[in-house]
Homo-oligomer: A and B are copies of this chain.
Amino acid sequence: MAAGTQAPDSLPRPPMKWDAWGDPALAKPLSDNIKKLLQQVLGTTADEPPARSAESVRLTPSALPESDRAALAAIVGPEHVGVADADRLTRAGGKSTVDLYRRRGGEPQDAPDAVVLPGSEEEIAAVLAHCVRQRIAVVPFGGGTSVVGGVDPIRGDFTAVITLDLRRFDRLEALDPVSGEATLGAGLPGPRAEELLAAQGFELGHYPQSFRFATIGGFAATRSSGQDSAGYGRFDEMVRGLRVVTPAGVLDLGRAPASAAGPDLRELFLGSEGVFGVITAVRLRVHPLPATKAHKAWNFPDFATGAAALRAVEQQETGPTVLRLSDEAETGINLAMTDRIGGDQVAGGCLAVTVFEGTAEQVAARHERTRAVLLAAGGTPLGAEPAVAWEHGRFGAPYLRDALLDAGALCETLETATQWSNVDNLKAAVTAALRESLRETGTESLVMCHISHVYPTGASLYFTVVAAQKGDPIAQWSHAKRAAGDAIVAAGGTITHHHAVGADHRPWMTAEVGELGVRILRAVKDALDPAGILNPGKLIP
């Protein structure tokens, strides 16, 4: 690996492994059960993967002229600009399965030409102005956990591409305990944000699977949804205000909890994926730390019965904080409990998990009401333990994928959402599309699904796919992903419920919002970023 020139080699790095998910200490080796299952059912081979080292990776050389590096260093300080390969590799992309295959492949890797760590909105504005003048693309970067190519360093027609890492926006800027509002810096990772709030007795309650690494700004830019969304809502529902630095100026949106003063412009930046501007701070609804918590698992004879039960709970507003349902396939291999995948099953049928938070009185009442509805809907209580086990392993699934890839299995996830009346139809259509398209690549597949988020009028469906790697696994997955995306659109689902669009879902954006919807997005883009430097190749077709 060639040494970087002129920049210190010590830029703070994302906490992620460069070629896998997260913290190496938390890696999950596959059990013998799972290995056997993979070999028997899917025909994977269990070769030991070759050892890989970051130092052996070849990156495309930095295309940033020294004059630009010096100009950027003059804005943010030389210690906040990195052009070393070590800095660039760790911002070379996100964490989709395709990203990991790319990192693991022997080809030269695309990487940003430089990494810049601004420390203020004024510095961001100056960096953007420089990049407009010099025609340099800019990729805003939080935790780097995108699974849709959202932080890919796409140069497009520009002379170079830099990654703007927001990690220095790391403060709890304000807390209003009476109103229950906190203003959090965009670069704060989930755990640090919760730590700062907890010190004041509050909690945000946003726990997506990427929680340990992803940031407040990333949650906003991708319309994230967390595992506690039944209780605390999607991230966009928590947002009261946000600040955004664009090439055309700074926006400070959200004067009141609700308003009729025209369209809600906050909603244009939730899900904007860095193409309209750089989110620097988000004002959020927070709640007092819950005093009590209760876990209850349930079994349903089949997915349709379980889905109807979840629907009843949500439509009758009985108040669980977490509400999830695994289908028969996912329940069968205990995917909901990553610590015991492939081990003894808690039950056949479908596993549902409920968690309740609040005061002791609230938890008791919410559990009581929910229990009555689930019993009436045909559920069998399984006690607390499987739900506790789910919670314990809730952020663990991506580690499992690392081990599966090493064992010659192709593993990826995708998600959608639809009305309750269309859940069964959409689930069947996506499952069939995945199985059939993978069969065309020469492998059977295991397609598992759970309802991860519920709404009064519908639910999300989260699919996990495991197959055998055949030929070029990137081409193989692209084939399956295309089939799944087309099936989602044809069956009336949304192309993404909480992973965002990035580069990977762009082909379906016109189907999602219509040709005129795309023109609206382009018009907003042209108003805020007329040079088009912000995150090219993402979101807008």
Contact = CB atoms under 8 A, between A and B. Distances in A.
A157 interface: no
Contacts of A422: 179
A528 B520 contact: yes
A264 B285 contact: no
Nearest to A499: B260
Nearest to A284: B457
- Name the residue in A246, A262, A453, A516 with the highest tally of chain B Cβ atoms < 10 Å from its Cβ: A262
A50 interface: no
Given A457-B240, A494-B256, A516-B248, A523 B521 contact: no
B179 A259 contact: no
Contact of A271 (B257, B260, B416, B514): B260
A524 interface: yes
Most chain B beta-carbon neighbours within 10 Å: one of A236, A260, A492: A260
A470 to B, nearest CB: 30
Contacts of A421: 176, 178-179
Interface in A510-525: 512-517, 519-524
B523 A420 contact: no
Given A268-B263, A496-B259, A523-B527, A253 B513 contact: yes
Interface stretch (A21-29, A65-73, A217-225, A345-353): A217-225
B458 A501 contact: no
A419 B259 contact: no
B501 A261 contact: yes
Interface string A210-253: 00000000000011110000000010100010000010111111
B497 A178 contact: no
A504 to B, nearest CB: 12
A273 B508 CA distance: 30
Contacts of A516: 246, 248-251, 528
A289 to B, nearest CB: 14
A268 B492 CA distance: 22
Given A179-B458, A285-B457, A258 B417 contact: yes
A191 B319 CA distance: 31
Contacts of A261: 271, 494-496, 500-501, 505, 508-509, 512-513
Nearest to A517: B265
Given A248-B519, A520-B268, A260 B496 contact: yes
Q: How many chain copies?
A: 2
A458 B222 CA distance: 26
Interface in A252-287: 252-253, 255-265, 267-273, 285, 287
A419 B523 contact: no
Interface residues of A, number: 91
A257 B455 contact: yes
A418 interface: yes
Given A261-B494, A420-B179, A524 B520 contact: yes
A531 to B, nearest CB: 15
A166 B260 CA distance: 21
A183 to B, nearest CB: 12
Contacts of A264: 223, 236, 267, 270-271
A125 interface: no
Contacts of A8: none
A249 B515 contact: yes
Interface string A179-208: 111000000000000000000000000000
A460 B526 CA distance: 35
A256 B514 contact: no
A498 interface: yes
A260 B416 CA distance: 9
A225 B96 CA distance: 42
Given A178-B420, A246-B516, 20 more contacts: A180-B456, A223-B259, A225-B258, A248-B516, A255-B493, A255-B512, A256-B419, A256-B458, A257-B455, A258-B497, A259-B494, A260-B271, A260-B500, A261-B505, A264-B271, A267-B268, A365-B369, A516-B528, A520-B524, A523-B523
Interface of A: 176, 178-181, 222-225, 234, 236, 240, 246, 248-253, 255-265, 267-273, 285, 287, 311, 315-317, 319, 362, 365, 369, 416-422, 453, 455-460, 492-501, 505, 508-509, 512-517, 519-524, 526-528, 539-540
